Structures are given as structure tokens and as C-alpha cells.
Amino acid sequence: MLDIDRFKSINDRFGHNAGDLVLKTIAEEINDRIRKIDCLARWGGEEFVIMLPGTPVDKAAILVEELRESISKMNITGVDRVTASFGVASYCSEDTADTLIQKADNLMYEAKAAGRNCIRRSE
């Protein structure tokens, strides 16, 4: 799960069209990096979920770190630097969709609390 850092300030400072451009650009960046069997979904206003079936959490964390870095280096016309915070959770047999999302969400908020523009992952 990822959340665009300080997205409200992007909308407030640059307008909602700029915010929409940020969302679209980040979605394109992620879609260009994931496999066809993976799934990217917008989860809420500025949150996205990426499902990586069959991917161990350590490999997912490597991909997510690459995504985090590429997002932070994007040049989006009319917008300052954009960053995102990520939570990477692994599926366990006792997980439901809700518990898996909750684990990823909690980890993402840990990343936010750690200063943003970083990832937190389950072990």
C-alpha cells in the first residue's frame, strides 16, 4: 500500500488538475514496473494498493524501494517534488483481504511516522 505524501498540499498549492496529473503519473510509473499478473488499484483519495501474487516480501520490498525512488525523482510539470510512503505486507494463510490490507495500512502509517518517503515492511 502506498500513500502520496502531503497530497492535500499539492491540491491546495497547485490545484486539483495538478493533483489529478500526479495521480495519473504515479499510476503509469507503477504500471510500467509491475508484471501483467500483478494488480494496481486506487484505494482511496491518494492511496494505492499493489498486489504481487507469489512474490516474497523481501522481493516485494526491493520493487517498492525502486518505485519509491523513481516517484521521488519524477518531474511532473507544474508540481514540486512528489514522494510516497509505503507499507509492504506479506500474505499469511490466516489472512483475509481485510486483515492483509490492515497490515499494509499500519506499515504505511509507520512509514509516514518515520518521516515519509520511505517503506516499512513485515518480516
φ, ψ for residue 55, nearest 5 deg: -100, 120
From the CA atom positions of the chain, what is the Rg in Å?
14
Answer yes or no: 46 catalytic: yes
pLDDT for 80: 87
Query: Which residue segment(s) compose the domain that 100 sits in?
Result: 2-121
Predicted confidence (pLDDT) per residue in 1-45, tens digit? 999 999 999 999 999 999 999 999 999 999 999 999 999 999 989
Give the per-residue pLDDT at 40. Answer: 98
- Structural domains in the chain (count): 1
**Do β-strands 84-88 and 119-121 pair in parallel, antiparallel, or remain unpaired?**
parallel
The CATH code of the domain that includes 109 is: 3.30.70.270
First-to-last alpha carbon distance for the chain, in angstroms, is 16
| pLDDT exceeds cutoff 90 at 123 | no
The predicted-structure confidence for 58-104, as pLDDT tens digits, reads as follows: 999 999 999 999 999 999 988 989 999 999 999 999 999 999 999 99
Q: Which of 46, 47, 94, 110 is catalytic?
A: 46
